[in-house]
Amino acid sequence: MSEQDGMSYAPLGRPRPVCGPGDFVFAAVGLDHDHIYGMCNGLLEAGGTLKWVYDPDPAKVAAFVGRYPLAVPADAEATVLDDPEVVLVAGASVPADRAGLGLRVLRHAKHYFVDKPPLTSFDQLAAVRAEVAETGKKYAVYYSERLHVESAVFAGQLIADGAIGRVIQVLGMGPHRLNAPRRPGWFWERERYGGILCDIGSHQLEQVLFYGGSDRGKVSSSRVGNFAHKDHPGMEDWGDVSVVLDNGAVGYCRVDWFTPSGLGSWGDGRTFILGTEGTIELRKYLDVGRDPEGDQVYLVDNDGEHHLSVHGKVGYPYFGQLILDCLEGSEEAMTQEHALAAAQLSLEAEANAIRIED
């Protein structure tokens, strides 16, 4: 596995523990997406203690233990859920199965930290909202394309500091490398991965809500297509969505599976934020044709053009905040409403999408 293909994109940051060993015990359950490694890295660097790992597939467990030798393979999911020491379960199962696991986790009085997309249907969304309200536990979501990207974290700070005035539009492009031969069966089944706008689109819509400054949004239009993978009828290899937030900020997102093999990264992810007093462009994973290092920020304001290379300089505050939120009942990392609002908007985009006929 290499970071090149993005399937195992798992950033490593500097350890900044917010608690001592054993203060925050967590487990990994459901290893279908390699995002689980990014999730565990983040929690470990922030001081979490990884106790258990469980997946029905022994090969996935073996690979995981190879990376985290202190994780103990559990014989069953119940072993993890019944352990009173476990505060949080991190999971990256097949998207359609994520809510099911999450509901079980919450019912066992534990917090859940789930890979995006956190769920794939409106029924799941309603059940999750009900269970969160009932248990008071967190259903936190790993929107890695903001939380685990230093330039994306930095952009949030710039906006909060008023660097570009009021945000008018967030425009995101999230291309991904396909790596077809390495993809599991569920990757091609729309009901299992949830559709492209529900899946990788959720990263983008989360950013629109976050940078746009509201958790209430409405889809203006959305579209999906299968332009080049008709041998997989369940595939959506392209999608886009336009949204408007209740504060008037607008968003547009485009996602696709067409990263050319010549690109030195798994995707040329970009975010353009238009403000009344300036603009921000993020070149997240590389500066194409210029620099293989990502986290390149281009801020233009009324004083000039500013190119800021922030890789290694910002860190990933989300994970420490999440641990403290779980331990202290706060909501600093991300509000529950925000995490699920992005999921809801993604579901609405997917459900109402125009299907491009070509």
Judged by CB under 8 A, the chain residues 146 through 205 that form the site for a second copy are 166, 168-169, 171, 173, 175
Tell the residue number behind the tokens 């067409």, with chain if given.
Answer: 258
Measured CA angle at 24 (ends 18, 29), to 5 deg: 125
φ/ψ region of 265 (left if φ > 0, alpha if ψ in -120 to 50, else beta) reads beta
C-beta of 328 vs 358, nearer to a second copy: 358
C-beta of 178 vs 334, nearer to a second copy: 178
Total number of residues that touch a second copy (CB under 8 A): 54
Of 286, 302, 304, nearest in space to 294 by CA: 286
Residue 298 CB neighbours (<10 A): 16
Q: Which stretch binds a second copy (CB under 8 A): 51-59, 105-113, 186-194, 222-230?
A: 222-230
Asked whether 152 and 282 are in contact (CB, 8 A), the reply is yes
C-beta of 78 vs 354, nearer to a second copy: 354
Tokens (6 digits) for 324: 């403290």
254 binds a second copy (CB under 8 A): yes
Site string for a second copy, 292-331 (x = CB under 8 A): ------x-xxxxxxxx------------------------
Smallest gap, in angstroms, from Cβ of residue 350 to a second copy? Answer: 16
Tokens (6 digits) for 138: 């967190």
Smallest gap, in angstroms, from Cβ of residue 202 to a second copy? Answer: 19
240 binds a second copy (CB under 8 A): yes
Strands 296-301 and 278-283: antiparallel
Residue environment code for 62-94, b if the CB has 16+ CB neighbours within 10 A, otherwise e: eebeeeeeebbebeebeebbebeebbbbbbbbb
263 binds a second copy (CB under 8 A): yes
244 binds a second copy (CB under 8 A): yes
Strands 250-256 and 305-309: unpaired
Tokens (6 digits) for 104: 């079980």
Among 63, 288, 327, 351, contact with a second copy (rule: CB under 8 A): 288
- Phi (first) and psi of residue 20, to 5 degrees: -90, 170
Among 3, 184, 220, 331, contact with a second copy (rule: CB under 8 A): 220
Among 249, 333, 345, 349, contact with a second copy (rule: CB under 8 A): 249
Of 257, 305, 260, 265, nearest in space to 284 by CA: 265
C-beta of 90 vs 224, nearer to a second copy: 224
C-beta of 220 vs 330, nearer to a second copy: 220
Contacting positions for a second copy (CB under 8 A): 166, 168-169, 171, 173, 175, 220-221, 223, 225, 227-228, 238, 240, 242, 244, 247-250, 252, 254, 256, 258, 260-264, 268, 272, 274-279, 281, 288-290, 298, 300-307, 354, 356-358
